Amino acid sequence: MRIEIKHATKQFGEKFVLRDFSALFPEKGVLCLFGPSGCGKTTLLNCIAGLVRLDSGEVTGMENRRISFLFQEDRLLPWVSAEENIAAVLRGSRERNLREARALLVQVGLAGEADKRPHELSGGMRQRVAIARALAFGGNLYLMDEPFHALDDGSKQEIISLFREKTPDCLKILVTHDKREAELLADEIWILEGPPLEIMHIITKC
Amino acid sequence: MIFTTQNKKEFFRRTAGKIAAAVFWIAVWEMLCYIVKQEILIVSPVRVLVRLRELSGDASFWVSALNSMLHVLAGFLLGVSAGIVLAVLTTSVRLLYDLLYPLVSMIKATPVVSFIILALVWLRSEQVPTFTAFLEVTPIVLGNVMNGILKTDSGLLEMARVYRFGRARTVRRVYIPSVMPYFTAACTTGMGLAWKTCIAAEVLASTEFSIGGHIYDSKIYLETADLFAWTAVVVLMSVVLERLMVALMRKIGKKYNID
């Protein structure tokens, strides 16, 4: 079932970030939400994730959704190593979790950094750990809030290819205000303006 | 820890500095005694040592020291437990915070001797030191731990929610490590405070077989040497206990950091 937002309204104080906003999301692929800072795209993402509650309206098609959320910041636990950060979202045998964590770290290009703490890693490396964590959690919906700002073009493409390869049937919503990033990574781009958030234009590649 | 030559040099330099500072202050102390020349006002370090040796020959010395330490530990541990429980409750139930706030402010502002004298009316004299230490330690731990819980990174809490940590894992992985530095600070302050209040309570209650009881006697008989000797015992035990506690907490902290 596709995710759909119906007549969503969200107000912060006097400001309407969403006002009777409706949209039907694609079933899979990489969807870029492209728009200027503060237009309401992050709020939209948070509403889908259930981190922000709508004042009115609804999000449907969320049954049996397991969300892997990539935040703008890395949001790693500062007191444990990279591999422990990834294992923290897994359940079951600790040994197996750590093994899986290390395997994922290799895939995001951090083979030798498994036992380093976040403060020992660069910004780009921390973001890669967060990406590995999102993959480890194994959601069927990937919400990404400008997670690639610390990475160069090559790395962005590499990471997105990894997502495509590992999660071919899942929808990946990528929020960005970088036009080149949108063109580089997306299957479909929504050009947004706001607040209140509005879809100005939809570009479908293929 | 690996000691390189550089580290070793630095370590010896620091230790030498500490010893020099101690020697300096003992010399100042000795000088003062030499100038004042009245043992009832100030007692020389040598005399204190001699008196300590005399006192420690007696079994009651050890019983008293142990007793006081138990008073302190009991009061401290009760205070820490109550502080943690109250901090968790007040941060989860806003109403409880509003309810407890005036009480805690009142306890913080009340002179400790008022509690001691009141407790003397309520309780048996050997319970008074523990009770007052508990009263003084609780608000410190409560305030610090509460602060730590409230200052826990909301971004990490959101992450824990999205990745379905559940309550147990959120507490273990996010809250406890965040609160740990605040808790350690509260324990260090609380331990010093527990000693001070306990001894004060023992003096006022003239508790039998306790350091405070002996300090009370030294006041009655104007035995200033005894006062100095017993005070030295308190300082020593307080420092040792605090060090032990910090070492223990570091061990526990390490477990939560790495594991």
The mean pLDDT of B102-129, rounded to a whole number, is 91
Is the CB of A69 inside 8 Å of chain B's CB atoms?
yes
% residues pLDDT > 70 (chain A): 100
Least Cα distance to A54 among A45, A65, A66 occurs for: A45
Q: Determine, for residues A79 and B161 on separate chains, whether the beta-carbon distance falls below 8 Å.
A: no
Query: Which residues of chain B does A67 touch, with a Cβ-Cβ cutoff of 8 Å?
Result: 162
Q: Which residue ranges make up each domain of chain A?
A: 1-66+139-206, 76-138
Residue B45 falls inside a structural domain? no
**Nearest-CA neighbor of B199 among B168, B156, B230, B239?**
B230
pLDDT cut 90: percent of chain B above it: 59
Q: Do A69 and B258 touch (CB under 8 A)?
A: no
- Closest residue to A71, CB basis, from B159, B173, B257: B159
Does residue B176 lie within any of the structural domains? Answer: yes
By the 8 A CB rule, do A197 and A16 touch? no
**Structure-token match 């630095």, residue found:** B10
Chain A closest CA to B2's CA: distance in Å? Answer: 19
CATH code where residue B157 lies: 1.10.3720.10
pLDDT tens for each residue of A66-110? 889 999 889 999 988 999 999 999 988 888 989 989 998 998 888
* ipTM of this predicted structure: 0.87
| Chain B, nearest residue to A134 by Cα | B163
Closest CB to B155 among A49, A71, A88: A71
Which letter does DSSP use for residue A71 in this model?
A: -
B49-53, long-range: CB within 8 Å, 24+ apart, which pairs? B51/B225, B51/B226, B51/B228, B51/B229, B52/B229, B52/B232, B52/B233
3-class SS of residue B184: helix
A76 CB-contact burial (10 Å; exposed 0-12 / middle 13-18 / buried 19+) = buried
Minimal Cβ distance to B257: which of A67, A80, A88: A80
Range of the domain at B224: 58-258
Of the candidates A49, A77, A137, the beta carbon closest to that of B156 is on A77
Band of pLDDT at residue B2, cut at 50, 70 and 90: low
Q: What is the 3-state secondary structure (H, E, C) of B146-177?
A: HHHHHCCCHHHHHHHHHCCCHHHHHHHHHHHH
Residues of A in contact with B154 (CB under 8 A): none
What is the rounded average pLDDT of the residues B63-74? Answer: 94
Q: How many domains does chain B have?
A: 1
DSSP state of A146: S
Superfamily in which the A1-66+139-206 domain is placed by CATH? P-loop containing nucleotide triphosphate hydrolases (3.40.50.300)
Nearest-angstrom CA–CA distance, A56 and A43: 14
Cα–Cα distances (Å) from A49 to A64, A157, A198, B24, B235, in that order, read 13, 25, 19, 65, 56
